[in-house]
Amino acid sequence: MITAKRAAWPALESAAPLPAQNEIHLGHEEFTLLRDLVCARTGIELKPAKRELLKVRLRKRLQSLGLGSYRAYHDLLTQRDRSGEEIARLIDSITTTKTEFFRSPEQFEYMARDWLPRRIALAAETGERRLRIWSAGCSSGEEPFTIALVVLEALGASAGSWDVKILGSDINRGVLERAATGVYTAEQASGVPGNLLRRYFLRGIGSKSGLLLIRPEVRRLVTFTRINLLDDWPIASRLDAVFCRNVLIYLDGGVQREVTRRFVTTLNDGGLIFLGHAEHAHGRLNGLRSLGDAIYAAAPSPPG
């Protein structure tokens, strides 16, 4: 299970007196400083309309630190946050974590109907029974676990003879901690078809009533880790598919293009990139061809 060790923050010397909660104002200049810092560290672009949201999400943190202004908080981040703990807290507070099982079902239908049967047929010819899939920006884990369910259903009785590894990553530590438990409420799992719920989930009883635990045969396919898409990626081998849905829309335009280019370089020939439906334009790069429904295939490499 992923754990995030939270170090105690040392007492701050000479902190400005803390005004009442509703008096801490986030001005344009302070917002710009924080926005630029977030973009430099993560690629996330905070539009001006996000100023009030940023103010609300950080206000309690300023109070707990005894800071009287957002500029003082920026100074802390840039001058005294040697461990990187506070910038991680900031990132956790501003990232979007909305997700659900079987979100954009047409993409999973394509996997089940077309892509996986072709991979299984190819494996019958070559003997290579191996799948590597990355869910980038996986939030609380519904997406990579959905991928695992679709793969297991497609492989059927032969699943045990396949080498399947699914990586779920996010920049937000809190959602990764929840994802690693494999525990969801019945409401969170409402998008899972009934037959898959019965086959791949365990129902809680007693004090755990209303909770669902993903079965071990599903969980063992999925590994969770924290990845900042601006950093080096711990990807040791070529991938068969990358899911990065509703992530690029939050990134700066230049970062969108660079991240997409890097995704292409991680793929095997014919590997797939699944994007969000609002992200069609970001996938139109050399080396990709559209298959519709925000699915792109990597073109074969030119002969050497």
Residues near 161 by Cβ (< 8 Å), separated by ≥ 6?
129
Q: Taking 60 as the threshold, does the pLDDT of residue 87 lie above it?
A: yes
126 and 234 assigned to the same domain: yes
Q: Taking 90 as the threshold, does the pLDDT of residue 150 lie above it?
A: yes
What's residue 267's pLDDT? 94
Sheet holding 183-185, edge to edge: 183-185, 211-214, 201-203
Q: Does 1 fall in a domain?
A: no
Rounded to whole angstroms, how far apart are CA atoms 267 and 299? 10
Q: Does 134 fall in a domain?
A: yes
Q: Does 99 fall in a domain?
A: no
pLDDT tens per residue across span 53-73: 999 999 999 999 999 999 999
Q: Does 157 fall in a domain?
A: yes
Specify the number of domains making up the chain.
2
The least confident of 10-24, 133-147, 226-240 is 10-24
Domain boundary pick from 62, 94, 126:
94
What's residue 16's pLDDT? 46
What's residue 142's pLDDT? 98
Reported pTM: 0.88
Rounded to whole angstroms, how far apart are CA atoms 6 and 114? 45
Across the range 10-36, mean pLDDT stands at 69
Q: Taking 90 as the threshold, does the pLDDT of residue 37 lie above it?
A: yes
CA 268 to the chain's CA centroid: 21
Domain boundary pick from 94, 118, 133:
94
The least confident of 9-18, 92-101, 139-148, 291-300 is 9-18
137 and 204 assigned to the same domain: yes
Across the range 229-250, mean pLDDT stands at 94
Across the range 248-267, mean pLDDT stands at 91
What's residue 32's pLDDT? 97
- pLDDT range class, residue 4, cuts 50, 70, 90: very low
257 and 132 assigned to the same domain: yes
90 and 110 assigned to the same domain: no
pLDDT tens per residue across span 175-215: 999 999 999 999 999 999 999 999 999 999 999 999 999 99
Q: Does 4 fall in a domain?
A: no
Q: Rounded to the nearest 5 degrees, what angle is found at the Cα of 75, between the Cα atoms of 176 and 26?
A: 80
Across the range 279-297, mean pLDDT stands at 77
Q: Does 225 fall in a domain?
A: yes
What's residue 302's pLDDT? 52
Query: What CATH number has the domain bearing residue 263?
Result: 3.40.50.150
Domain boundary pick from 52, 70, 94:
94
Q: Taking 80 as the threshold, does the pLDDT of residue 143 lie above it?
A: yes
pLDDT tens per residue across span 157-177: 999 999 999 999 999 999 999
87 and 114 assigned to the same domain: no
131 and 52 assigned to the same domain: no
147 and 291 assigned to the same domain: yes
58 and 117 assigned to the same domain: no
Q: Taking 70 as the threshold, does the pLDDT of residue 23 lie above it?
A: no
What's residue 17's pLDDT? 47
53 and 172 assigned to the same domain: no
Closest CA to 136 of 234, 213, 35, 237: 234
Question: How does the average pLDDT of the chain come out, rounded?
Answer: 89
What's residue 5's pLDDT? 35
Domain range spanning residue 136?
A: 105-298
Q: Does 9 fall in a domain?
A: no
Beta carbons within 10 angstroms of residue 236's beta carbon:
7
Residues near 6 by Cβ (< 8 Å), separated by ≥ 6?
85
What's residue 278's pLDDT? 83
152 and 274 assigned to the same domain: yes
226 and 280 assigned to the same domain: yes
Rounded to whole angstroms, how far apart are CA atoms 143 and 253? 24
Contact 116, 154 (CB under 8 A): yes
163 and 268 assigned to the same domain: yes
Query: What CATH number has the domain bearing residue 80?
Result: 1.10.155.10
Q: Taking 70 as the threshold, does the pLDDT of residue 15 lie above it?
A: no
Hey, which of 18-27, 240-249, 293-302 has the most confident mean pLDDT? Answer: 240-249
Q: Does 100 fall in a domain?
A: no
